[in-house]
Chain A
Amino acid sequence: MQLQTMAAEKLSPAAPPADAAIAIDDVTLRFVTPDGHMMTAIRDFTMTVARGEFACVVGPTGCGKSTTLNLVTGLLRPTTGNVRVMGNPVTEISRDIGFVFQSDALFPWRSVIDNVAAGPLYRGTPKAEAYERARDWIARVGLARFEKHYPHQLSGGMRKRVALAQTFINQPKILLMDEPFSALDMQTRTAMQDELLDLWSEQKSSVVFVTHDLEEAVALADKVYVLTAGPGTVKSVYRIDLPRPRVMADIRYDPKFIEIAKVIWSDLREEVQLGQNRGLQTGH
């Protein structure tokens, strides 16, 4: 018991410090639905990610996880409250941000190398240099033989690796990932998680990683945010003090890991059930 409370320390939400990498301060966001009503996606939402921190977000489906990430990119604006990135209010899409999308967002008309080189090319890097860096990143995600392939000629796992290379090549200081590995099989996912942790510790970026898989969250994160069923708000925050470097294949058998996962799951379970019941009532 002693161990477990030390490992998964429940934090009390506080106003974000000024120098945080990401600071979402008391944000509410409402969508206007097609029939003209207002629909609250997230409410009174406060979240801080320190520089170099790895934060995971878990919550029932439809609770506003993707919406939260879009607030950080600037693609969505809060209805009330404010969002700061690296201390500055979000006014436009920041060059410091990298985003791995929930859905497949590669450009199907570009080959693997053209997809990976897209970021530097958009940002005005000379062609030769952009392609050299792209080649380097493709090799790092283990796809060197597939440079000339088009996305439709790759497996789902390979496409995800291309998406990672496409994002990492810009060396983002802030990395947002929306269920990036949920479509992968167990082995590939474990390998990609290890790869992600390597890249993260090397680049010292700050990460927000959305997942519906609690074990994945606990295994990767410094900090886990549990959201309530929609309209989403932060239910609780846990600090995960498992030692690093972590090895994904082994960590799930670590007794301390299992204890933490149990504690957080008992917290999350209520929300998942709530979300499901609500979904049944409203019929979607």
Chain B
Amino acid sequence: MTAISPAADRAATRETSIAVAEARAKARLHRRHALVIGLRLAILVVFLALWELGADYNFIDPFFFSSPSGIWEQIWSWVTEGTSQGPLWLQIYVTLEETFLGFVIGALGGIAAGIILGRNRLLADVFSIYIKIANSVPRVVLGSVFIIALGLGMASKVALAVVMVFFVVFANAFQGVREADRSMIANAQILGASPFQITTTVIIPSAMSWILASLHVSFGFALVGAVVGEFLGAKQGMGLLISTAQGAFNANGVFAAMIILAVMALVVEFIITRFENYVVKWRPAPFNEQGA
């Protein structure tokens, strides 16, 4: 029996060829990344240019479908001169405030209800039927109810946003609690955890990825709730801005408000993603991102 060891000089050449291959692979990744960004920009430019040209040559009627320059002028005049309801930033602020309040209250309520029902089988069996019924009511209709009951102020919009958010978060939190690994719970129990400690240190962390997934969607829902609420009747806010523009057949105004809302949603989505990455940093990276 003899041990075999590879020759040392061959090891050295292997090292250099690995380094070369690595550099090539990196350059390739770089080029691909640049290509993706370039294509994205190109599509945007082509899209806007076609829209603008179409409007100029009347292929697309700018009265109904607006045009990029028209939308830009509208946003600019809102920024510099303010809207018919007051300064633009105030409208954004009002809508954001309603959305945030609705989102936070709805999400906390959904998480709490999901955890309580997820941990208690009897409560879950009893209440599941009512939750199903409540969930099947078209929620936007509730907006009218809230406006009648709570008036034109902020409360009715917040209430609608809460209702939009609650069920999504509840369903996910409930599912997350139910999926918590049984042997992990047993492990905590034997290590000495009380039922309360199990909830805080095992159940909630393991339901966290489910809950966070629902937060992504439900912020959008909260925004819909707030805007629809304003649409149905309000004194301030982006929804009112849209409905005023609609009443005046001002397509530029509708599109401009829509774009502002989209930007708001994207910014918040970005913040939630950062928060999520921070909270679940223990999660393994998907295989294709590992080692990158």
Please give the residue numbers on chain A whose beta carbons come within 8 Å of chain B beta carbons, in ascending order: 73, 75, 93, 95, 97-99, 101-103, 105-111, 118-119, 122-123, 150, 152-153, 166-167, 170
Partner of B284, one of A73, A152, A166: A152
Report B275 CB to chain A, min CB distance, Å.
15
When the two chains form their complex, are residues B186 and A101 in contact, meaning their CB atoms are under 8 A apart?
A: yes
Report B268 CB to chain A, min CB distance, Å.
25
When the two chains form their complex, are residues B188 and A150 in contact, meaning their CB atoms are under 8 A apart?
A: no
When the two chains form their complex, are residues B191 and A118 in contact, meaning their CB atoms are under 8 A apart?
A: yes
List, sorted by A's number, 22 A–B pairs whose CB atoms are closer than 8 Å: A73-B190, A75-B190, A93-B190, A97-B190, A101-B187, A105-B181, A105-B184, A106-B184, A107-B184, A107-B188, A107-B201, A107-B205, A109-B280, A110-B282, A118-B191, A118-B201, A122-B188, A122-B194, A123-B192, A150-B282, A152-B282, A170-B191
A110 to B201, CA, bound (A): 10
Which residues of chain B in 171-209 are interfacial with respect to chain A, using CB atoms and an 8 Å cutoff? Answer: 181, 183-184, 186-194, 197, 201-202, 205-206, 208
Residues of B within 8 A of A73 (CB): 186, 190
When the two chains form their complex, are residues A108 and B282 in contact, meaning their CB atoms are under 8 A apart?
A: yes
When the two chains form their complex, are residues A95 and B183 in contact, meaning their CB atoms are under 8 A apart?
A: no
Q: Known contacts being A75-B186, A101-B183, A108-B282, is A119 close to B202, with CB within 8 Å?
A: no
Residues of A within 8 A of B181 (CB): 105
8 tightest A-B CB contacts, nearest first: A105-B187, A122-B192, A152-B284, A119-B191, A123-B192, A109-B282, A122-B193, A105-B183
Residues of B within 8 A of A111 (CB): 282
Q: Select from chain B the residue with minimum beta-carbon distance to A119.
A: B191
Residues of B within 8 A of A119 (CB): 191-192
Which residues of chain B in 193-251 are interfacial with respect to chain A, using CB atoms and an 8 Å cutoff? Answer: 193-194, 197, 201-202, 205-206, 208
Residues of A within 8 A of B202 (CB): 107
When the two chains form their complex, are residues B192 and A170 in contact, meaning their CB atoms are under 8 A apart?
A: yes
A109 to B201, CA, bound (A): 10
Q: Select from chain A the residue with minimum beta-carbon distance to B181.
A: A105
Residues of B within 8 A of A99 (CB): 186-187, 190
When the two chains form their complex, are residues B188 and A93 in contact, meaning their CB atoms are under 8 A apart?
A: no
A103 to B182, CA, bound (A): 10
When the two chains form their complex, are residues B186 and A105 in contact, meaning their CB atoms are under 8 A apart?
A: yes
Q: Select from chain A the residue with minimum beta-carbon distance to B197.
A: A122
Report B176 CB to chain A, min CB distance, Å.
13
When the two chains form their complex, are residues A118 and B190 in contact, meaning their CB atoms are under 8 A apart?
A: no
Report B210 CB to chain A, min CB distance, Å.
13
Report B222 CB to chain A, min CB distance, Å.
27
When the two chains form their complex, are residues B282 and A118 in contact, meaning their CB atoms are under 8 A apart?
A: no
Residues of A within 8 A of B205 (CB): 107, 109
Most buried by B among A97, A99, A106, A167: A99
When the two chains form their complex, are residues B284 and A118 in contact, meaning their CB atoms are under 8 A apart?
A: no
When the two chains form their complex, are residues A98 and B192 in contact, meaning their CB atoms are under 8 A apart?
A: no
Report B240 CB to chain A, min CB distance, Å.
44
A95 to B194, CA, bound (A): 12
A73 to B187, CA, bound (A): 11
A108 to B284, CA, bound (A): 9
Residues of A within 8 A of B283 (CB): 108, 152
A122 to B192, CA, bound (A): 5
Most buried by A among B186, B197, B283: B186
A32 to B171, CA, bound (A): 28
Partner of B191, one of A103, A150, A152, A166: A166
Q: Select from chain A the residue with minimum beta-carbon distance to B205.
A: A109
When the two chains form their complex, are residues A122 and B191 in contact, meaning their CB atoms are under 8 A apart?
A: yes
When the two chains form their complex, are residues A98 and B282 in contact, meaning their CB atoms are under 8 A apart?
A: no
A206 to B59, CA, bound (A): 86
Q: Select from chain B the residue with minimum beta-carbon distance to A178.
A: B183
Report A124 CB to chain B, min CB distance, Å.
8
Mark B252-292 against chain A: 1 for CB-CB distance below 8 A, else 0: 00000000000000000000000000001011100000000
Q: Select from chain B the residue with minimum beta-carbon distance to A123.
A: B192
A59 to B205, CA, bound (A): 36
Most buried by A among B192, B194, B280, B284: B192
Report A172 CB to chain B, min CB distance, Å.
9
Q: Select from chain A the residue with minimum beta-carbon distance to B186.
A: A75
Report B209 CB to chain A, min CB distance, Å.
10
Q: Select from chain A the residue with minimum beta-carbon distance to B187.
A: A105
A282 to B83, CA, bound (A): 75
Report A21 CB to chain B, min CB distance, Å.
16
Q: Select from chain A the residue with minimum beta-carbon distance to B190.
A: A99
A166 to B184, CA, bound (A): 13
Report B250 CB to chain A, min CB distance, Å.
51
A102 to B183, CA, bound (A): 9
Partner of A95, one of B192, B197, B208: B192
